[in-house]
Structure 1
Amino acid sequence: MLSQEDFRPVTLADRAFFERHYALYPQTHSDNTFTNMVCWNHFAQYQYAYVNGNVILASTILGVTRFRPPIGPRDPALMKALIRLAQDIGDNTPIVLIDPATAQWMRDLDPTLTLVPDRDHFEYVYRALDLAELPGKNYLKIRSQINKFRKNCRHTVEPITPANREEVMGFLVKWCEWKGCENDLVLAHEKEAVFYAIEHFAELPLRGLLIRVMSQVAAISLFERLNSDTALVHFEKGLPDCEGIYKAINAETAALLAGEVEYINRESDLGVGGLREAKQRYHPHHMVEVWSLKRDV
């Protein structure tokens, strides 16, 4: 019923298809977004199948293929076929990014399945107004750092547009030189993803902001509408010239989005200790929890 031959690569030409499908089945996790897939295709080799009104996503990283659960109407036969296919060709974690409701449905279909939470890929969702206004004592230190930035760094804020696109590309080159992208495999892949996003900015459902310090681009953010009440921040980059600039671009982005959405998804921490602490420091409203299917060994 389901085979590898049913899958084909995700490309820019598929944007309208995914927008139509996700309008019917809104997403909550960043990894399923069309923007994420095309920007990270060089690394994850995304593919999809469309079967019985369901989209099934797969990615192949370092030769290992993993699947996502079907996105569409519940179809027990299709789910069972996917589990068989995934276990045939996948590793010990053949299906990933399973939302809690789907995890429970899978357990109901087959109580012998081993499903475990994948904390490293839980995503942090904040109230947009909290990130914009930073109210109360919980945000006292962050407010202080932003105030210091505003006092010490003459800056302006503007949207990313075709007119400043080349300047943004130049900024990204400087950012990569500072971070040492060429000597860090993870950053090298991220560099390629964010460059792709800027190069194809007009072809993607992206918006962006930049901060100039002394007329030079010093920070950027790239974001989009995820669903009816949530925006998603895909990328956020800054140079070290002005202390607090990351907190400033975060706040400026939230201030723009707070009038449009209730929540902002700022993606996962991937299990990175310092990143986890930084994301928790902003006091998320809730997490987008995901589970993984584990093969019994």
Structure 2
Amino acid sequence: TLFCWRSYGHYSICEQDGCLIIKGDTENYRSYRFPIGPINPDVFHATIKLAQDLHEEAPLLVLEPWQFTWMREHYPDLILKQDRNFFDYVYKTDILSTLPGQEFLSIRKQLNKFRRNCPSTVEMITESNMDEVLEFLIKWCQQRECDKYTILKHEKEAIREAIANFSELGFSGITVNPRGEIGGIAIFEELNPHTAVVHYEKALPDCEGIYKEINMQTALHLKDRYEYINRESDMGIPGLREAKERYHPDHYVKLYYLENS
């Protein structure tokens, strides 16, 4: 993610005593991430001081539960707040691949309607169809007017980086092809031995319900290898939050930030 979004985040890194310190610098904020690596109180203390010196609203991001616990123990007076907009949604893969029970009835109906109206094939993203995937992304960006909006412009660049470095980054992906042409894609990878993470899901608006097909086909592809699927955050976008909650996440991965006083 950092690699693909580097033109937006302007990330800089520092390795100190076996720990990796990452700083992001966008047009809207500057912040550090809690150091990655072995527990090293000296490095942790120094990073917290660097973050406080930024005088930003949220100068330090705390991404792991143990980091939150460490901060609470060693800096009980500092204020750590949850950022609900950046909670990751984590689902049971077998649930996403079957959509069982009454609570998924309306999604199943919409999925069946899509399949009646737009019969589709599903293919893996490989070297043989990369050019078609790139053509699809051009169409998607034209319809979304990516170049008019900063975040969409950078997202377009991030997805192109993902495609250009697909094998090197260890990505996998699928295409959903109504009427013989790519109408939607998903790009994902292993997050840990139990969890896959879906980085990108994009579709053209021609066939209503195509995102539900992408979601299910991704889960069907992953269900024999991973217990969970992390579908990342909703970024505080109301429609996206509603769509993600409709699939009833198993749990959230919470993000905390240091509130600078």
TM-score, length-scaled by structure 2: 0.96
User: Residue 115 of structure 1 corresponds to which residue in structure 2?
Assistant: 80
> Going by fraction, where is helix more abundant, 1 or 2?
1
User: Residue 15 of structure 1 corresponds to which residue in structure 2?
Assistant: none
Unaligned runs of 5+ in 2: none
After superposition, residues 132-281 of structure 1 pair within 5 angstroms as 132-281=97-246
- Residue range with higher mean Cα deviation, 218-227 or 60-69: 60-69
- Residue range with higher mean Cα deviation, 63-72 or 106-115: 63-72
Which amino acid counterpart does residue 183 of structure 2 have in structure 1? A
Cα distance between partner residues in 2 of 1:82 and 1:280: 35
- Kindly state the Cα deviation for residue 236 of structure 1 after the two structures are TM-superposed: 0.4
- Kindly state the Cα deviation for residue 202 of structure 1 after the two structures are TM-superposed: 2.4
For residue 124 of structure 1, the aligned residue among 89, 93, 96 is 89
Q: 1:90 to 1:61 in 2, by over 3 A?
A: farther
Which amino acid counterpart does residue 56 of structure 1 have in structure 2? I
Deviations 1:173-200, CA, capped at 9 Å, x for gaps: 1111111212222211111111111122
Unaligned runs of 5+ in 1: 1-35
Question: Is 1:285 aligned with 2:250?
Answer: yes
After superposition, residues 20-31 of structure 1 pair within 5 angstroms as none
Which amino acid counterpart does residue 243 of structure 1 have in structure 2? E
Q: What secondary structure does 2:183 align onto? A: strand
- Kindly state the Cα deviation for residue 113 of structure 1 after the two structures are TM-superposed: 1.0
Deviations 1:136-185, CA, capped at 9 Å, x for gaps: 01111111111111122121101001110000000011111111212222
Query: Where do 4+ consecutive residues of structure 1 move more than 3 Å?
Result: none
- Residue range with higher mean Cα deviation, 190-199 or 87-96: 87-96
Cα distance between partner residues in 1 of 2:207 and 2:239: 20
After superposition, residues 91-110 of structure 1 pair within 5 angstroms as 91-110=56-75
Q: What secondary structure does 1:85 align onto? A: helix
Give me the identity figure in percent: 45
TM-score, length-scaled by structure 1: 0.85
- Kindly state the Cα deviation for residue 63 of structure 1 after the two structures are TM-superposed: 6.9
- Kindly state the Cα deviation for residue 47 of structure 1 after the two structures are TM-superposed: 2.2
Cα distance between partner residues in 1 of 2:116 and 2:54: 57
Q: What secondary structure does 2:121 align onto? A: strand
- Kindly state the Cα deviation for residue 79 of structure 1 after the two structures are TM-superposed: 0.9
- Kindly state the Cα deviation for residue 90 of structure 1 after the two structures are TM-superposed: 5.0
Deviations 1:105-164, CA, capped at 9 Å, x for gaps: 112112221111111111000001111100101111111111111122121101001110
Contact 1:66 1:90 in 2 (8 A): no
Q: What secondary structure does 1:241 align onto? A: coil
Contact 2:55 2:260 in 1 (8 A): no
Cα distance between partner residues in 1 of 2:246 and 2:75: 39
The count of aligned residue pairs is 261
